Chains A and B, each alone.
Chain A
Amino acid sequence: DTEVTQTPKHLVMGMTNKKSLKCEQHMGHRAMYWYKQKAKKPPELMFVYSYEKLSINESVPSRFSPECPNSSLLNLHLHALQPEDSALYLCASSQEDRSSYEQYFGPGTRLTVT
């Protein structure tokens, strides 16, 4: 199973809402990532978790709050977002033992902030 799943596929939220994005993988990967992708642009790294600990935060605003409850799950909690936060949010995972550097991406959550 080389699949990363993300829910929901689409999300529309107002600026005062609180919502969460979910990501799951069962490949035994110990590194998990959140990326933001705007239309016609490459993915931008937001957060990296390594062995369930936050190892990289690319100066992301606090209205985005990541959480890694266990080695298979990754959440992104959203609160008080701005319209410019509308984008495709991608989750990815990779091995930590450096036998492979491939990042496996999920299909993404298309977020619209109104």
Chain B
Amino acid sequence: GENVEQHPSTLSVQEGDSAVIKCTYSDSASNYFPWYKQELGKGPQLIIDIRSNVGEKKDQRIAVTLNKTAKHFSLHITETQPEDSAVYFCAASLLPRGNYQLIWGAGTKLIIKP
């Protein structure tokens, strides 16, 4: 079955610097890759997603890149702020058949140092 590996497990960056979180998936048929942010005491929240027909997507300070050949996708956060501190999960899915079932990475705890 599909497997998603996520690295690093913890990332500490200085406020204002950039953060990059990387994921690798195993099933080349996967075509939907969301990123969720989970703050303490809250449920996960979608921050950005990308489909396999697109190589990059940006939304203000957040961007996601996808390399289908290498089966890698990455989350980039620029000009990090204290409110970016959270756990970030990548996921993969096969649409439309698997649109309910997200295969999750293990998560990255992002710490923004003031």
Contacts and interface: CB of A to CB of B under 8 A. Distances in A.
Interface of A: 4, 31, 33, 40-43, 45, 48, 50, 55-56, 90, 92, 94, 98, 101-108
Contacts of A4: 43
15 contacts: A4-B43, A41-B106, A42-B105, A42-B107, A43-B44, A50-B100, A90-B43, A90-B44, A94-B100, A102-B34, A103-B44, A104-B46, A107-B41, A107-B43, A108-B43
B107 A31 contact: no
Most chain-A Cβ atoms within 10 A of its Cβ — which of B44, B89, B104? Answer: B44
Given A98-B96, A98-B99, A103 B104 contact: no
Interface residues of B, number: 22
Given A40-B107, A41-B107, A42-B106, A55 B41 contact: no
A102 B45 CA distance: 9
Contacts of B95: 98, 101
A100 to B, nearest CB: 9
B101 interface: yes
Contacts of B45: 105
Nearest to B95: A101
Contacts of B102: 45, 103
A36 to B, nearest CB: 12
Contacts of A40: 107
A48 B93 CA distance: 15
Say what secondary structure dominates the interface of chain A. strand
A43 B100 contact: no
A102 B49 contact: yes
A101 B99 contact: yes
Interface string B34-65: 10000001111110010000000000000000
Contact of B101 (A41, A45, A106, A108): A45
Interface in B81-105: 89, 91, 93, 95-96, 99-102, 104-105
